[in-house]
Amino acid sequence: MASRFDHLLAGLAGDIEIYPHQFDLITDRVLLTRIPASAQSAAGFLDQRALAPDTEGAWFPWRAFASAAASISDGPLGYIFHLGHCGSTLISRLVEAASGRRALREPLPLRVFAFEAADSADGAALLSENELDGRLADFEKVWSRGGAIVKATSICNDLLDRRRDDAPAVFIYIAPSVYLAALLSGANSQTDLRGFAQMRHRRLKRRHAGLAPLSTLRPGELAAMCWLAETAAAVSARRMSRVVDFDEFLKEPARSLAEICRALDLSVDDAAAQAAATGPAMSRYAKAQEHPYDATLRARLLNDARTRFRKEIDAGLRWLDREAKAFPEGEAAMRRFAAG
């Protein structure tokens, strides 16, 4: 039966404003919406916050979505993976400003695929390995229309090796002491700490069989577990174009931005990188640009957090030093990502 929303499916291949907002794994459906390109670019998160009261949208069976996606030729696609609380949203905005390449920040379907990948090792995934890879590939076709840089959610690092073969990826990180201070002091710290804790613990336990039960971890240890789960996933990835320490990035943002763009196969000259790195994005909070925020304010807030949460930060660092030594990926993550 024809629907008044069938034009969304018909226009998927050629209209980047038709955006696949959600994938419902239970019903095997995709929510197609119409989100203006400017709104996609402005969004800090392509979740419910990207939808307006009058957003046009409708659910379609997966088979219908996949059939429409099959007619799309692969466009240029790159990824920004990251640890969380490490400036990845800012970097994605700067990459977009310097290169003109459309940025898609934290598409919701990637989270679904991340949870499926986490469940697959236990045999608890609803999708087979081939189905998971196939569905991700179909979304990648749609995301890549006209070219795009996808910034993943921080729980998605086990998808690094599932991405398209020709899609470069950078990984953004911060040292454990910085991460713990940022995570423990955030306005939504309990949500950040506990929201994905079970999924992260399950993923980390596959690499570290002796990992203590989640319920036994105090806040600083829980934050350290989050850091270790994501860096252990990243250090295990076979295909990584570049790793970036955000605190090193802030020392020479224009030079670092140009290097990141080149790692993402983007043609950006030094002047464009300089213009972006000295532009308005550097003085606004990247996730909510109405708020002033810069490197000086960040440093002050982190120093305050180190004082207020010293006991928990110390507990977390002791836990990390002990637990990372217990499995190979943990030791490798500490060598590669714990400096600073």
71-81: pLDDT as tens digits: 999 999 999 99
CA dist 288 to 44, 45, 46, Å? 7, 10, 13
Among the four given CATH numbers 3.30.70, 3.40.50, 1.10.1660, 3.60.21, the one describing domain 73-101+147-337: 3.40.50
At residue 121 the predicted structure's pLDDT band, cuts being 50, 70 and 90, is confident
Q: Give the C-alpha separation, 123 to 128, whole Å.
A: 9
pLDDT, tens only, 260-279: 999 999 999 999 999 999 99
- Edge to edge, what strands does the sheet with 102-105 contain? 102-105, 148-151, 77-82, 169-173, 242-245
C-alpha–C-alpha distance, residues 35 and 58, integer Å: 13
Give per-residue pLDDT as tens, 222-252. 999 999 999 999 999 999 999 999 999 999 9
Q: In the β-sheet with 56-61, what is the strand arrangement from edge to edge?
A: 18-24, 29-34, 56-61
Give the helix ranges, DSSP H, for the chain.
Answer: 6-10, 37-42, 62-69, 88-99, 108-120, 129-143, 176-185, 189-195, 197-207, 219-236, 246-251, 253-263, 270-277, 295-308, 310-323, 328-337
| Share of residues in the chain with pLDDT > 90 (%) | 92
pLDDT over 70 (residue 2): no
Contact 239, 161 (CB under 8 A): yes
Average pLDDT over residues 61-90: 96
Torsion of CA 220, 222, 226, 228, to 10 degrees: 80
- Give the chain's mean pLDDT: 95
How far apart are the C-alpha atoms of 246 and 225, rounded to whole Å? 20
